[in-house]
Amino acid sequence: MPLTFISMRSGKTELYKQAIFDGLYRAMRETFSVPEDDQFMTITEYDAASFRYGSTYAGIDRTDDMIFIQISAMNTRSVEQKKALYRRIVEILAENPGIRTEDVLINIVEGARENWSLGRGLAQYA
């Protein structure tokens, strides 16, 4: 059950943001063994003064369309699944809403199964 946080500059349309949600969900379903309806995502928008990135860090040219994607997930996926997820996310987001692959930073934060409560104060996966 990934929990996904997207950070980006403000000013994009609702359709643009929905395309990000839909694309991330699709990529996770295709590569990360995410079950149907497992959609827990937020987008937080920042003005220019509150959003900073290295415009050429690691030899990658970035623009103000940069988005940060942080995925909190259980530590049950292989390195190959993670690599496939990274590739699929940038492919889908390049198609719609048209984000350059250079403008997508992805970070996965993993935790143990017992660190999750899906509601009712229960540790459903423990």
Residues marked as catalytic: 2
Distances (CA, A) of 47 to 7, 43, 64, 109: 11, 13, 11, 25
Q: How far apart are CA 6 and CA 107, in angstroms?
A: 10
What end-to-end distance do the CA atoms of the chain give, in Å?
A: 13
Q: E strands along 1-126, which residues? A: 3-9, 41-46, 67-74, 104-111
> What is the C-alpha to C-alpha distance for residues 93 and 75, in angstroms, rounded to an integer?
25
